[in-house]
Amino acid sequence: MDRAATAEKIAELIEPFNKKGVAVTEATTFAGDLEWDSLTVMDFVAAIEDDFDIIISMNQQAEIETYGQLIDAVTKLQG
For residues 55 and 71, the answer to whether their CB atoms sit within 8 Å is: no
Does position 46 interact with other proteins (CB under 8 A)? The reply is yes
For residues 79 and 2, the answer to whether their CB atoms sit within 8 Å is: no
Does position 13 interact with other proteins (CB under 8 A)? The reply is no
Sole binder of other proteins in the list 42, 51, 63, 78 (CB under 8 A): 42
For residues 48 and 7, the answer to whether their CB atoms sit within 8 Å is: no
Integer-rounded Cα Rg, in Å, for the chain is: 11
Q: How far is the CB of 7 from other proteins (least distance, A)?
A: 22
Q: What residues make contact with other proteins under the rule CB under 8 A?
A: 37-39, 42-43, 46, 49-50, 53-55, 57-60
